[in-house]
Structures are given as C-alpha cells and as structure tokens.
Structure 1
C-alpha cells in the first residue's frame, strides 16, 4: 500500500473509534500559480489587495524549507464598520489534516476557491511532511516516539503536499495546523494532554514544516513562502478534544483563534485572548436534530462508521449535507449575519458525496451579494478591526434573528460602555 493509502486508511480508522454514539445523537463529535483576488476586493470595508513581495525580498529561513517573502498576497485590509452599516456575511471553509495524496482533493479545491473567489484555511498535519523512515523524530506526548494514528508520508507525498501549500498561500489561503499524530479517545487521546504537552506538540508541528527539506532529502525544492512561526495563528484539535488546555497553551504562544469547539450560529467572542471560531450546529434536512457543520458528522448520522455505505443513498446523503449547510447560511445571511463556520476532510467517504456537497455549497453561497468566503485568519483580522462594543451588541442577536428595525437602526445607537455586561462577556479572558 502506498503512503497515501496508509494515511487514508489510518485516518479513517481513527475517526471511527469512539465517536459513533455521540454523533448519532447530536453530531457533536468532530473529526477524527498565482491566484485571483479574494472576495473582499472592492467590498465595503476593504482596500485593494497589496501586491506580492518582489523577488529580492526573499529571505530563506533555517535549512531553506521556509522563507520570508514579504506580505502575503491577496489579503483584504478591513475597516471598522460605520454606524448603521450592515456587516458582511462571512463563511469559512476549512480542511482538517490537509495534504495532497492520490485523491488530489487539495489541488482540486484550490481550483474551486479560485473559481468562486473563496479563500480557505488548510489545517496541515505536521506528520504529512515527515517521511516514514524519519518517524522517530516525532515524539508525541504520552505516546512512544514514532507513533501516529494517521501514519507518515513518503517523498513524493511530501513533494506534492508542499507544492499545494505553496500555491495555496500565494493565492491568499491560510495554513493552520491540525497538529501531528491525531490521537483521539478517552484513554490515549489529546483530551488528556496538559498545557505543556500541547506546547510540545505545537513546537513539533512547526519543526516538521520548518525542516521538511532536510527530513525528506528534497533540498532542491522551492521553499514554502512564509515564516511558519508567524504564519501559524490558529488550529483545530483532533476530534475536537483537549480544547481547554490547548487554548491555554495557544494563548501563551501567540495564537489568535481556535476552532475546536461547538457553537450555535451567533457572533464569536474571545476566550483566553483567542477568538473562539468553533464550528456550528446546522440543520439536517428531514431529521429532527442538528449536527456539526462537518462532512464526518453528516456521514456518521447517515451511514454510521461505514465510510462507504449504501451506494443507492450516496446522492441523497450529499444533497442532505449541502441543503443543511445552505439552510444554515440562509438563516445567518437573512438573520444575525453571524459567520458560518464549516469543517471538512480531504476524503471520498460515501463515494465522494460530501466533497460534491461542499463544492456545491461554495458555488451557491460565495457568489452572493455581501458574502465573503474567507480564511479564519482573515475573519480574525476583521473582528479585531471592529469596535468591541459593536461585536458585543451583535452577540445579543440569537440564531437567525435579524435586528429589529434593520441594521441601520440596530448599529446606529450609541456604543455600549466598557461597564456594559454584554461587553464584559464579549471580552472575557
């Protein structure tokens, strides 16, 4: 079996363990060159995208695996909302364990993003840049050196993944982290990790990105065009476990957001100084409950842990996910305008029906008026550019609730004071 096949098999096996019961009930268990301008160009509150750095600005870092190349191209520069101005409708599409394997889904969704003017967040698993023969360089917390539930990679897989990461960043997308070994479950999972364990895992994730040339013997390849110490500002934990201690560690290490929790569709707040950009609960059309806005959770509610269930149901299941995501989008778009947070995996579960569902969702929502399909980092930039009192006021709107009297009236009133309970809640440490 190829390294790509090992990765897919191991990752699927990990996802299946321990998540079925909770996901069947509520779907709360989580998982397991040059581009076109982003959708923010010409939008209210955004300026022209800065040009890419000139070639003479390139400065190699370390062994040349990464490099400083100047400001990332194709980034919006946000402005503060004016009094009475309606906020944009943000949508974030993100990918856990992003890597390019034989399915070529990374490269495919880069093209989708370009077609529909959408930037995304790719959460890289660090071990996808570590070759199998160097596996013992990974010393995971509470596990033996060289352990990983999703395997490692081979030279060609690393070369392909780096190519996609390079292009994705140059197009304006974000490279976050899904950490390394993807350990889940009550006994051996990341839910048992301490703050120091998380710091070790983060350091190692950075190290594999900063030393892939040396580790894989690919010294002639082009560098990744970013300084990962500065680029890495957010993450999603494996299986959405261990968030409490991860957020503490991430806060100390200068991260800006986390997306490892489960929220309703309301405006976000900060937790330990990080924006809590957790995924949302969304409708499951035809069912009496909601589930997490993620391909894995729809799958478990449809075919259980069978990643290739009844072929006659594949089309229906994909339509059900797409329609649920679009319904979630519409209740924000026509309601409180809370950002819509969606997570996915580069997998062909149930005949690839969830990949079709995501692509059709992107094609439906990202082209609509005032909609900005952005990365988590870009969303955090916009949130940081706003008056905290305005964010606090928007947080008072419930799921799907449009402001009475319209946005012009709702956000035209005098901002909340620093003593306001709502503002204090929005800025809790």
Structure 2
C-alpha cells in the first residue's frame, strides 16, 4: 500500500517517547469502495441464489443465517479460571498487491486464531465515485487514505466474505482517516460521527452498485447487524464516537489506551483499549500496536535502517509475548493487539505478528478470537465478577487462586431507584494525555 501516515494529535512531547504515536494504515489504492444510494426505499430485496437465504438491498449484502465457526459464550463455572483471550485486530483492512489479508487468514486457519478486521469504508468506494463521500468538516470526495479501484474492491470483498465465513469479525475503521486539530475525528460532534458511521455502512451495503461489480457474490451478512465495533483513526475522538455508536448498534470500542487490566463498560459500550506492553531493552512501554513500536524504533520513517529490521521485529514479537505471559500467568486480562497490513521496515512487523500468533494461540486456555466473541463472553458473566477481576493489577494473579478469589468477590450493591447507567467516558484520544512516562512507570 502507498502509505500516508498521520500521528495522533495533541501529544505532549514527554509522552511521545513512552507511548509512540497512534497510527493507522492508509493507502491511495487499498481496498474496494462503496457508497451512495442503495435499493429504492420500500422495494423488495431480490431473491438470493443458491445457498444464500435472502439478499439485502442491491444484493451487496445478504442474510445467510447465523455466522458459522463461532464459539457460543458460556458463564464461568464455580472454581473455573477465566480463559486467556488474545485479540488480533487489523486497522483499515483491505486486500492489495501485498496480499496480507489473505495471508493472515491462512495463518489464522493454521494456528487456531480468528480475528477482527476493521474495514475502511472508502476501500469499497471507487475513485471515480469519490464524491459520494463527504467526511465531516471536509469537502466531498476528500479522503486521507484514498479510495478503491475495481480490482481491490473485488479482492477485498472476497476476503471479507471468506473471513466472515471462517468466524472472523468485520468491524469498521470508518472512512477518510482524518486526524489532527484541523477537521480531524477528534474534533467531530456526536452528529458528525453519526454521519461518518452511516456513510461507512452505506459503502459496504452498496458496494456492487457503486462499483458496477453486480455479478460478484454478496457479502454473507447483514452489515447493520454485523457491525458492532470499531477503532477510530489515530485513536482520536473516542468519547463522541461512543456516544454516537451506542445509538447505532455498536457494542464496543477499541480506541482507548490502558494497562493490561480487564475491560469495563463506558456509556453503555465495552471499552476495550489497546494496552501498554514492554519494549524489550527499553525503560518504558508502548502501545500493543505495530505502528507504535515503529515510531519508537525508526520514528515516522517507515523504512529505517535495514540492518535493524530483524531486531525491531523481534522487539515487537518479544514485547507482545512478555505482555501475553504476564496476563496469562497473572490477572488473565484480555491481550489486545492492533496491526496494519503494511510492509514497514521491510515487513518485519508482519513476520513478528505471525510468530506471535504461532506461539500463543495453541496454548492451554488461550482463545485467539475476535472482539465480538470477547464481548459476548463478558456479557455472559456475572458483572460483579468482571468488576472484581478489574481490581487485579497488571500481571497480578489471585494469591488464593481463582476459585476463592471469585467466590470472595463483593456482594451486589442494591441499585438506587432511577440511578443512571455508567457514563462519563474520558476521551483518550491518541494517548493518555498529561501522563508522563515516569507516572506510567509509577502506576505499574
């Protein structure tokens, strides 16, 4: 992919070294495209051929029944240790000439890993139809990551279709990938986020009409129901996105920044952030994302010293494995890993992620699954147990063992009449604002 990289806005200089910058993949020719109008309102959907049960709208998507190859959630049994969830997720997922989408699907099949692919909606919209997209605070046809072409649209649709059938999740990375203080997603209102979400859905729901690829197979899901989670560009604008998303079918967000602790609900959505993990050989930690390791290694130059490439990839792999071990042997907090289909620093990060998947996903009690399965599992638990597990610090295993720890959890507090639900999400746009590296270490 041709890369246009944008750093997170509003970073204090003291924080950059410790956290790196939040970044996302961008391409002028990356994925398929889509947008504009679909079937006429009120018109009956066409009958679906073959095994498809029902086409939706213009036939870009369809209802084919429950998703196959997924694991149903179950409540923890008395005395049972929580599973170790590991979530591998991909920002701006699309298939281009590097064929990394298809490659990592194959890696997942080999190593018992199903993942979340955050699709950028404009990858389903052809360049010649770019005017169908109007990003909030931007002129029609603007996108900082470009649009699709017919070849990439067709290939990305194939990858999305087959990934879903394998039990992977299709989330969203929204559309234009606008970052920073000048019209970036961190400046958007709730209503502007709703517009961006609606357009991201439209480009997927109408990709056949917009591309003219009407003979291609439909995507095998109803996107209005499939789409339950997201990661925002550059990790900016989380608060207002969550306020918008909670009204539009979303169940989780992964745009925040945190330590390796159990997630919580904020404004009605599961807040499942990227996490601080070690950088082996360095005195600080950074986010569990390939881009952030790159920034701490070669800066914003995506092709640094070739003699360092292998070392840098090993550093990412080993940092993620250290984060995995301290969760697996400790508080069992889900490990959240963010990636991009990119060849930064000679592709060393793609090699590192593949080696991480091979190492962790076949271990006992480990579940490498999409966010959707994690939130299904969280919702199936006693909320008191999740809250009680949140009291465990990073890497801290219950001294008395999991059975006694969960049994000794707090008694349920009586709900006050008319008490409001959880609220007050803080906007963790791009970084933990105002926290110096020293403070991060002290809190550890």
TM-score, length-normalised on structure 2? 0.86
Shift of 1:24: 3.7
Shift of 1:21: 5.0
Gaps of 5+ in 1: 1-7, 33-53
SS in 2 for 1:158: helix
After TM superposition, the runs of 4+ consecutive aligned structure 1 residues lying more than 6 A away are: 16-20
Q: C-alpha separation between the residues in 2 aligned to 1:20 and 1:134?
A: 39
- Cα 1:353–1:232 change in 2 (3 A) is same
Structure 2 residue 22 is matched with structure 1 residue 30: yes
Shift of 1:23: 6.6
Shift of 1:18: 8.1
2:41 matched residue in structure 1: none
2:399 matched residue in structure 1: 404
Structure 2 counterparts to residues 166-245 of structure 1, below 5 A: 166-245=161-240
1:158 matched residue in structure 2: 153
2:441 matched residue in structure 1: none
Gaps of 5+ in 2: 25-48, 425-444
More helix by share: 1
Q: 2:283 aligns with which of 256, 281, 288?
A: 288
- Cα 1:103–1:21 change in 2 (3 A) is farther
* TM-align CA RMSD: 2.1
2:261 matched residue in structure 1: 266
Structure 2 counterparts to residues 45-194 of structure 1, below 5 A: 56=51, 58-194=53-189
Contact 1:190 1:242 in 2 (8 A): yes
SS in 2 for 1:252: coil
SS in 2 for 1:14: coil
Q: Figure out how many residues of one structure are paired with residues of the other and give that number.
A: 398
Contact 2:8 2:180 in 1 (8 A): no
SS in 2 for 1:26: helix
Shift of 1:413: 2.9
SS in 1 for 2:333: coil
Q: C-alpha separation between the residues in 1 aligned to 2:116 and 2:312?
A: 25
Structure 2 residue 268 is matched with structure 1 residue 299: no
Q: C-alpha separation between the residues in 1 aligned to 2:286 and 2:21?
A: 9
Any idea what the Cα deviations from partners look like across 1:170-196, whole Å, max 9, x if unmatched?
000000000000001122311100000
- Cα 1:426–1:110 change in 2 (3 A) is farther
Q: C-alpha separation between the residues in 2 aligned to 1:22 and 1:426?
A: 35
Q: C-alpha separation between the residues in 1 aligned to 2:421 and 2:263?
A: 8
